[in-house]
Structure 1
Amino acid sequence: MIAIQFQKRDFEYDVYNLVKSFYPEEEIALSDDDSPAAEYDEKISLFYGKNKISIRIERVSGERKRQEEGVWLTEEMHGRKERKNQTKILLYHMLQKRTGQELPWGTLTGVRPTKIPMALIDAGHSNVETAKIMREQYLVSREKTALAVSIANRERHILEDIDYKNGYSLYIGIPFCPTICAYCSFSSSPLKVWKNKVDDYLDALCHEIRETASMWAGQVLDTIYIGGGTPTTLEPHQLERLLSEVEKCFDISHIKEYTVEAGRPDSITWEKLAVIRKHPVTRISINPQTMNQKTLDIIGRRHTVEDIRKAFADARELGFDNINMDLIVGLPGEGIEEVEHTMQEVLSLDPDSITVHSLAIKRAARLNLFKDEYKEMTFTNNQRIMEMTEQYAAKAGMFPYYLYRQKNMKGNFENVGYAKPEKEGIYNILIMEEKQSILALGAGASTKFVMNDRIERAENVKDIKNYIERIDEMIERKKQGYCDYEKNRV
């Protein structure tokens, strides 16, 4: 147990996540300065003065307690942001010395690390100046600094024609999957449980589509992303109904990208792909996660490697010319040889883009809930593996174009999207950089209103039954949010 004791609860989210990055397997408890900490093996205490930050680390070893203290003294600290950054730098150095670890992303604990170099470059800093700030102020490694800066520049180029003020994107969620994968914590439900409610769900979703489309009629729709869950759990006639409703209600004449996440190969059929192909969909995603059959069986993917190859071949034969494939590094039992095999097999199919995810085990995932079942298995990710995936992508003519991070990632790494030129996923960048408003429909979807001085959200309930029964409430939330958005638009 590690206890973190605050003089006041300043920066507790950042401090907690930085400590968790150094001690991913430890339980961590938070407490105020005047409340007793729980029994602990190690306690971290934070104190603030006008021009002083003091951090004390106390360790219990047998009957003895040892402590060390770090102090940051300045003439004056100019505001909350500076105090936060200096707190994290001081704590990082102390934990680095204590553990002997260096974190690839330094003190950065957020999920969108490219926002910092993007903002610096937008403000007129050169690439060299931006890289220096990343290394010195956030302690980011040279490798990750180079990656972040290069991606920030590529994102700026890809988004240069996007009108943030007068445009928006559309997300539609289909919360069903054939089965739930062992690592998954998303808002998805096994199809067999909800088979008789899918049409009811589509009734509610189409109602939400009709009622919200009119609100945004005066703005340009730039991208559409239909995700989940697994959208291809829908039957062909249900897919036809959904796509037709979208195109009837929204003006797609200026669309730059229209993605349907075909997802798991065990949900993909020729008939479903043919339905999608009839519509102006420009991009699909077929997601194997791994090309090792043993791993597919362990994580609960009810399909074979050959199913992946067939789904991809069918999509190409039907004329899809922009296909993404998602992979996961750090799956149980997989080391560099298994990941390399996956890279070789996937790239032999010649997809237009791949997204390499570092495994993140969240609280709701089966891997976390049933640890005993997987305790004999290794979960491996390291810089060598990440560099190897980047090298394979480069050989296939793909360049990194977006990245994001999640909590509890193995090795403190990141998810990176690689694409051939002109095949990048525009929506992926927009959702990460938070520069454009996104209308999000379906169970668990979160609409994002980007305004002058803030971002507001309108959340849909995650539970499918509640979503169906309370759909008018979800619509009203969006209407109220849109009124505020119109008054405070970027």
Structure 2
Amino acid sequence: MNKLTYSYRGPLPLGSVVAHYCGAAGLTTYKEGPTWLLVGEEQATQYSLAVYENGTLQATFTGSLTNEGRLHIGGQLLRLLRTHQGLAPLGDWGTLVGVRPTKLFHKLWDQLGSAEAAIERLRTQYEVTEPKLALLAQVAGLQRPYVAPSADSDRLVSVYGGIPFCQTHCTYCSFPYGLLQDYKRVPQFVEAFVADSEHLQSLLATYHLQLATLYVGGGTPTSLGEADFETVTTALAKLLAYSRTAKALEFTVEAGRPDSVTPYKLQTMARQGVSRISINPQSMQDSILKAIGRGHTAQAIKDLYEYVRLHTPFQVNMDFIAGLPYQQEVHMIENMDYVCQAMPENVTIHTLALKRGSPLYEGVGREAMPEEKAVQAMVAYCKERLEAAGYVPYYVYRQQYMTSQTENIGYTLPGHECEYNIRIMEERQSILSVGPGSSSKWMRAPEYRQLQQHMPKDVSVYIDTLDTLLGKRSQLCKQFWEG
């Protein structure tokens, strides 16, 4: 029986907290015979959580009928689950399990009046260690000009375009809708995406909005054929007319796989005003790339990067993952050797997270994943090498079911940070979206509470209900900017 499975029954507010802390401990839900059974109750003045391992009661935790009480129970549960796995009771992040730790940092900064006060709160309430507190302070300090409350930012927006196709399915990924070659309605998708973009352009004009950044992600946007890729990027590029400044706007396209990129697509991006692309190796070892389902070689990454440097003006981001099946620290050393020779403007170091619906989550290759200490050593090594080469961290986030109590960190050469990554992570600017699986969020200081619209992940549903979806987006824009 898998020791990292659990089932919960009880009140929903407590269950939501339990899910976050179980995820932080590496547990996944499993209804039939899980190792851990968690039974919550809401009583007159407090919550209680009984924790059973293989039918034997291990502990009962209690907390007040407040968010603080639920978090207290979650912290105790995390300690128990990690201890029973032979791990230290808490990792470097203490009992802080949220996806966006810097978002909390900025909120505390606003409430308490200083970064120092925010640090102290995280130290005492969540038991975050000094190295992580230093990381948060450094990142938040760099981000602060972008996210500090401002009276003139209400109509400043960013735009995300989602292309949900790839050409192969990575074993760790659950995000793409499917493989491009298997989808029979690509022309209708392109037509719908263009209509979606044109509708968004009309909203920018109607509400006198200014565009801060434009980001195209996926899936792999460059998996589209050359003509279709040109059509969708041309449609999105029309939004650049609403740029907040006269200078070139940050326009990013994820071109993550070299097997999906052609010289014509790169020329198309240059013509449309793209300023930044992502080339995402994940690993520079062919054996690991094959094991995780990537359809390219390490040499193809090197060739693409060299071509981009010689023939385009693009800034470049590269992604790497720590914790991949069969990965050892020597592999990460090789990865960083390449990065420090190539010197892309941005480098993101991800810690592998098990995502529902991915082959890895279902067990394919999990036995070959490195242990927590090995992953932590890889992440620490990347930090040391990148900072020695002149990079600084500029955004950080975490995920459920990460293979260790670490984080994902975006590094940048000074002055080259990706503004969109900061905007999307800290959720302090309205971000409007185009395409299936994308999300629009309307945000306003000081509460930064959200109106939201989530486009269907199913591409056919997106195509067939587009008129209704665009009508809802119009209503939400009217409610936000006129209500």
TM-score by length of 2: 0.89
2:69 is aligned, of 80, 83, 102, to: 83
Q: Using a 3 Å threshold, how does the CA distance of structure 1 residues 145 and 200 change in structure 2: closer, same or farther?
A: same
Determine helix, strand or coil for the equivalent of 2:161. Answer: strand
**Paired residues for 1:59-458 under 5 Å:** 59=53, 65=56, 67-70=58-61, 80-95=66-81, 100-101=87-88, 102-159=90-147, 163-194=152-183, 197-217=185-205, 218-254=208-244, 256-369=249-362, 371=363, 373-381=364-372, 382-451=375-444, 453=447, 454-458=449-453
Report the number of matched residues: 467
Q: Check whether the contact 2:91–2:405 (CA below 8 A) recurs between aligned residues.
A: yes
Determine helix, strand or coil for the equivalent of 1:115. helix
Query: Which ranges in structure 1 are unaligned for 5 or more consecutive residues?
Result: 30-37
Q: Deviations over 1:143-199 (max 9, x none)?
A: 2222122211111134569853120011111122121111111133212113x6333
Question: Compared with structure 1, are the counterparts of its residues 238 and 121 closer, same or farther at alpha carbon in structure 2 (3 Å cutoff)?
Answer: same
Change (3 A) 1:68 1:189: closer
Q: 1: CA distance between counterparts of 2:316 and 2:366?
A: 35
Q: Could you say what secondary structure the match of 1:390 adopts?
A: helix
Q: Secondary structure at the match of 1:263?
A: coil
Which amino acid in structure 2 is aligned with residue 16 of structure 1? A
- The CA RMSD measured in Å over matched residues stands at 2.6
Cα distance change on mapping 1:12 and 1:248 into 2, 3 Å? same
Distance 1:70 1:173, change over 3 A: closer
> How has the CA–CA distance of structure 1 residues 82 and 487 changed in structure 2, closer, same or farther, with 3 Å as cutoff?
farther
- The answer for the alignment partner of 2:20 in structure 1 is 17
Query: Offset of 1:289 from its aligned partner?
Result: 0.7
The 2-side partners of 1:39 and 1:394 are apart by 46
Match of 1:466 in 2: 461
Contact kept, 8 Å, 1:180 with 1:190, in 2: the verdict is yes
Paired AA for residue 155 in structure 1: Q
- Offset of residue 417 of structure 1: 0.3
Residue 410 of structure 1 aligns to a residue in which SS? coil
State the alpha-carbon separation in 2 of the partners of residues 43 and 445 from structure 1: 35
Who is 1:34 aligned against? Answer: none
Counterparts of 2:133 and 2:197, CA distance in 1: 41
Query: Which range moves more in the overlay, 250-259 or 408-417?
Result: 250-259
Equivalent position amino acid for 2:393 in 1: P
Moved more, 133-142 or 202-211: 133-142
Of stretches 286-295 and 335-344 in structure 1, the one that deviates more from structure 2 is: 335-344
Contact 1:159 1:426 in 2 (8 A): no
Q: Structure 1 residues 60 and 334, CA, compared in 2 at 3 Å: closer, same or farther? A: closer
1:447 and 1:458 in contact (8 A); partners too: yes
Any conservation in 2 of the 1:296–1:304 contact (CA below 8 Å)? Answer: yes
The amino acid of 1:306's aligned partner reads: Q
1:366/1:67 CA distance change after superposition, 3 Å: closer
Deviates more, 1:201-210 or 1:468-477: 468-477
**Using a 3 Å threshold, how does the CA distance of structure 1 residues 106 and 209 change in structure 2: closer, same or farther?**
same
Provide closer, same or farther for how the CA distance between residues 95 and 135 of structure 1 changes in structure 2, counting only shifts above 3 A.
farther
Q: Distance in 1 between matches of 2:191 and 2:19?
A: 43
Query: Which consecutive residues of structure 2, in runs of 5 or more, have no partner in the other structure?
Result: none
Contact 1:277 1:318 in 2 (8 A): no
Question: Aligned in 2, Cα 1:45/1:243: closer, same or farther, shift over 3 Å?
Answer: closer
Partner of 1:481: 476
Distance in 2 of aligned mates of 1:239 and 1:82: 49
Superposed displacement of residue 28, structure 1: 5.2
Task: Read off the aligned partner of 1:277 and give its amino acid letter.
Answer: A
Are residues 430 and 204 of structure 1, via their aligned partners in 2, closer, same or farther at CA, if it must alter by over 3 Å? Answer: same
Tell me if the contact between 2:266 and 2:312 (Cα under 8 Å) persists in the aligned partners.
Answer: no
Task: State how far apart, in whole Å, the 1-side matches of 2:124 and 2:324 are.
Answer: 33
Worse overlay, 431-440 or 446-455? 446-455
Distance apart, 1:397 and its partner CA: 1.1
- Asked if structure 1 preserves the Cα contact closer than 8 Å seen for 2:146 and 2:423, the reply is no
Displacement of 1:97 in angstroms is 5.5
Q: Any idea what the Cα deviations from partners look like across 1:268-298, whole Å, max 9, x if unmatched?
A: 1222111211222121111111001101111
Question: What's the CA shift for 1:242?
Answer: 2.4
C-alpha contact (below 8 Å) 1:287/1:326 kept by paired residues = yes
| Mapped partners of 1:120, 1:26: distance in 2 | 31
Give the SS at the match of 2:360: helix
Task: Note closer, same or farther for the CA distance 1:39–1:275 as it changes in structure 2 (3 Å cut).
Answer: closer
**CA deviation vs aligned residue, 1:343-392 (integer Å, no higher than 9, x gap):** 112332111110111111212112223x2x42542334532221111111
Q: Structure 1 residue 54: deviation in Å?
A: 4.7
**How much has 1:92 moved relative to structure 2?**
4.0
User: TM-score when scaled to structure 1?
Assistant: 0.87
Q: What SS does structure 2 have at the residue aligned with 1:368? A: coil
The equivalent residue for 1:35 is: none
- Residues in 2 aligned to 1:441 and 1:127: alpha-carbon distance in whole angstroms: 36
Deviation of 1:461 (Å):
1.4
How high is the sequence identity, in percent, across the aligned residues? 31
